[in-house]
Amino acid sequence: MPRLMSDDTMVQSSIGSNFQFSGTRTEHLGASEYTLVNIGVDVTGSTHPFKDGLRDCLKAAVTSCKKSPRADNLLIRVFLFSSSLHSGIEEVHGFKPLADIDPEAYPEFSPSGGTPLFDAAYSAVGATNAYAEQLYNDDFTCNGINFIITDGDDNSSTMSPASIKREVEKALNSEHIESIINVLVGINAAQCKTELQRFQTEAGFDKYIDAGDVTPQKLAKLADFVSQSISSQSQSLGTGGASQSISATI
């Protein structure tokens, strides 16, 4: 699993037998509470026409988080998914404090392959659960928010919606994580809206957001939506519940 910005402050962990993720070693974390964020971005062949816009959207979302009053309490993991990648998932970086993330260094996207959407969702929720447990064991409090951004339905996963739902329920019933929000975002995905909505329900995701067709304005709104939702969820940390103000539309 190639990874940008890897260093000895990071530790690699497993989710089940097929997936891995990395996160900052807890001895390098200074705050008392964190919001864990996953942003999974579809880089399958069909995203090729708007690959640069998608990358700019990702960069803008992460950069915007740096302006959040909760910037010091966010640990963000960014990964790409496509069947052309090893294991279908490739981390751009594992869970890291914003101060250690340089969105300008994010790689150019090279879209190709099919859509391991279920695997991506499983990786996001599973990594959140596993890392939250590590944090909990070292006295940190945390909640989480996950975004899976896709332009199509699953066609090459090893995991199922049911297995994702089990991870979601694990998070909801666990004392390791205070609350979790999972958001599926469809971009340029009008033709598979029904399938994505069904997946959202079957996997136990909180929302399906149809971002509409790709335009620079829509991508800018998507970036804004992601950063606002992260900030909102982080501000709810310590209240015992999830943020109530995640917008239902973009």
HSE toward the beta carbon, residue 117, CA cutoff 13 A:
23
Residue 132 carries which DSSP code? H
Which of 188, 193, 125 minimizes the C-alpha distance to 153? 193
SS3 assignment, position 26? helix
SS3 assignment, position 46? helix
Residue 107 carries which DSSP code? P
Measured from the CB atom, the residue of 80 and 237 that comes closer to another protein is 237
Least distance to another protein, CB of residue 136, Å: 8
Using CA atoms, how far apart are residues 21 and 94, in angstroms rounded to an integer?
A: 6
Least distance to another protein, CB of residue 65, Å: 19
Measured from the CB atom, the residue of 141 and 160 that comes closer to another protein is 141
Paired tokens of 77 = 């993991």
Least distance to another protein, CB of residue 176, Å: 12
Query: Which amino acid does the sequence have at 58?
Result: L
Least distance to another protein, CB of residue 34, Å: 11
Measured from the CB atom, the residue of 8 and 139 that comes closer to another protein is 139
Least distance to another protein, CB of residue 73, Å: 11
Measured from the CB atom, the residue of 30 and 108 that comes closer to another protein is 30
Residue 90 phi, psi dihedral angles, 5° rounding: -135, 120
Residue 68 carries which DSSP code? S
Measured from the CB atom, the residue of 28 and 170 that comes closer to another protein is 28
For binding to another protein (CB under 8 A), which residues are involved?
Answer: 26-32, 137-141
User: What burial class does residue 69 get, using C-beta atoms within 10 Å of its C-beta: 0-12 exposed, 13-18 middle, 19+ buried?
Assistant: exposed
Contact between 10 and 75 under an 8 Å Cβ cutoff? The reply is no
Least distance to another protein, CB of residue 99, Å: 12
Measured from the CB atom, the residue of 31 and 162 that comes closer to another protein is 31
User: What burial class does residue 197 get, using C-beta atoms within 10 Å of its C-beta: 0-12 exposed, 13-18 middle, 19+ buried?
Assistant: middle
Least distance to another protein, CB of residue 23, Å: 14
User: What burial class does residue 108 get, using C-beta atoms within 10 Å of its C-beta: 0-12 exposed, 13-18 middle, 19+ buried?
Assistant: exposed
Measured from the CB atom, the residue of 141 and 174 that comes closer to another protein is 141
